Amino acid sequence: MVKSTERTIVFDELAGQYDNTGVEFFGPIAHQLLELLGPRPGERVLDVGCGRGAVLFPAAAAVGPEGYVLGIDIAAAMVTATAADVAARALGHVEVRVLDGAAPDLPAESFDLITASMSAAHFPDPFATAAHYARLLRPGGRIGVTGPVPPRALSEWDLGALRVDRIIAAADPAALAAAHPRVAALYGEYPFGRPGRMCDALRAAGFTEVAEQRHDVVLAAPTAQALIDWTWSNGLRVYWELVPADRREQVAAELTEELTARVGDGPVTAMYPVYHYLGQLPRTGGVK
């Protein structure tokens, strides 16, 4: 049985409200990733860390009923919620399973396309996935892994107008230190941040046409409060949970004031940069 760990428990907590605050985030990232990968009718897709299906559902539409999409996620609550959506949409060619995406035990050469949008950065060793996924792909198979662009330091982390570092600065220092493995796994060490490492791992695993594409996701919220609510609806929530409960309101008020000082009471925007890492296996053999 796959168990949630410190690294993933936040996603079990989040499954019910995940990405549904009205601030679009995972959807536009998934859309761009799929545009870069171009899933075709009849293809077989593995979506790693499928969450609530930002990649899974558009991929299912692109490959159509002649194709197949398997979504895997380590958080059982995510899988249960997404499986219910799959059933409600009567998508017979889509399956969702609880499975560790770091090294999934699936048949070799069984997919044409593997996607991992905003998930592999949570694995203990995201670079090791390149070799695992190369084995699961048929010759000519494509991969697209998306992860956050790291801040230079947690203490100076802003998403444009939204200062995440203000939340981190308000965290209880002992709680922050104690939570280090969880926080570091989610955001703190940003393994994808070391320039070129993911591309090197993809090349070493036999992928060609390897590329790294930056995408600055615009977070558009109707109000400052909606943007703050958004920070509670995804992995950033980890930082709020480290702020003493009786200080959270004040920190949120300060963030709101800072946002509205720039733009007034109306809509606010922030910016979240990500990298898409892309590769393709040679059409005949060649995988190490």
Q: Which residues of the shown chain bind ligand SAM in the complex (CB under 6 A)?
A: 8, 11, 26, 30, 49-52, 54-55, 72-75, 78, 100-102, 117-119, 122-123, 235
Which residue, 118 or 202, has its beta carbon nearer to ligand SAM? 118
Which residues, 6+ apart, have CB-to-CB distance to 263 below 8 Å? 161
Which residue, 50 or 137, has its beta carbon nearer to ligand SAM? 50
Give the integer Cα–Cα distance in Å for 188 and 211: 24
Smallest separation, CB 104 to ligand SAM (Å): 8
Counting beta carbons within 10 angstroms of the beta carbon of residue 215, is it exposed (0 to 12), middle (13 to 18) or buried (19 or more)?
middle
- Cβ atoms of residues 144 and 33 within 8 Å: yes
**CA quadruple 237, 240, 245, 248: dihedral positive or negative?**
negative
75: DSSP letter = -
Smallest separation, CB 17 to ligand SAM (Å): 13
Which residue, 26 or 68, has its beta carbon nearer to ligand SAM? 26
Closest CA to 134 of 125, 143, 145, 126: 143
Rg over CA atoms, the chain:
19
Give the integer Cα–Cα distance in Å for 285 and 287: 6
Which residue, 169 or 220, has its beta carbon nearer to ligand SAM? 220
Smallest separation, CB 67 to ligand SAM (Å): 19
Smallest separation, CB 8 to ligand SAM (Å): 5
Smallest separation, CB 221 to ligand SAM (Å): 18
CA 134 to chain centre: 20
Smallest separation, CB 29 to ligand SAM (Å): 6
Which residue, 72 or 94, has its beta carbon nearer to ligand SAM? 72
Which residue, 117 or 259, has its beta carbon nearer to ligand SAM? 117
Tell me the residue number closest to ligand SAM, measured at CB: 51
